[in-house]
Amino acid sequence: MSEDKDKVIKKQGLINGVLLGIIVTILSIFSFYYLTEMVTSTPLIVIGYFVLLPIIFPIGFAAFFIIRLRTKVGGYWNFKQAVRGIFIVFLSAYVIQFLGKDILFARVIEPDIVEKTEKVLINDAVADFKRKKVSQKDIDQKVKEIRTGLGPQKHITIAQQVQGFGINIIFLFVLALIFAAFFKREVQYYNPNPSTDPTV
């Protein structure tokens, strides 16, 4: 029975991971156009581009697919099974997102994604600082920080991305451990003869 459950966890984990990966990829691509084409307000950029789209929505969808996976395997799984299933979900989602967004979208469809992102962030920061009457020295410092932060991403190679892939796998496993602690649900066995000794 345990072997059958493990097979279901692997199969359904892969299915749910692919679905999560497609959604996260769409969110990632949408966040780029949200930043570069849809909003100009600093609060909307911060809330949407830095909070909702990269953090809140992915966590919400991840929780949904983990619960969906747990339901598919009968509603109960121990910590080890939860870690395995959640890691499969996260790993397959990451592979889909890596291929769809980092390789196909960022290298074929929008090869200037970093430059366009940098331009928007700099323009927004400069406009916001000028509204607040910040000194030109502070504005220049902020622009320098943005360019320094995004600079390494402009010339990243596929080899570097593959190397980062390995590091991210370790991170995903640690994340699976954390999520498993929250989403594990073990079967509670009924004891028909509980001890009457209050000291036990």
Tens digit of each residue's pLDDT (9 = 90 or more) over 146-169: 778 776 676 677 777 777 888 899
Using the predicted structure, report yes or no on whether residue 63 has a pLDDT greater than 80: yes
Tens-digit pLDDT profile for residues 87-107: 999 999 999 999 999 889 988
Using the predicted structure, report yes or no on whether residue 192 has a pLDDT greater than 90: no
* Residues 176, 181, 184: CA angle, nearest 5 degrees: 100
pLDDT class of 195 with cuts at 50, 70, 90: low
Claim: this prediction has a pTM higher than 0.85:
no
Using the predicted structure, report yes or no on whether residue 22 has a pLDDT greater than 60: yes
**DSSP state letters, the chain:** -HHHHHHHHHHHHHHHHHHHHHHHHHHHHHHHHIIIII---HHHIIIIIIIIIIIIHHHHHHHHHHHHHHHHTTS-B-HHHHHHHHHHHHHHHHHHHIIIIIIIIIIII-TTHHHHHHHHHHHHHHHHHHHTT--HHHHHHHHHHHHHHHHHHHT--HHHHHHHHHHHHHHHHHHHHHHHHHH-B------SS----TT-
The confidence score (pLDDT) of residue 200 equals 45
The confidence score (pLDDT) of residue 152 equals 67
The percent of residues above 90 in pLDDT, for the chain, comes to 46
Using the predicted structure, report yes or no on whether residue 197 has a pLDDT greater than 60: no
Tens-digit pLDDT profile for residues 115-149: 888 888 888 888 877 787 777 877 788 778 877 87
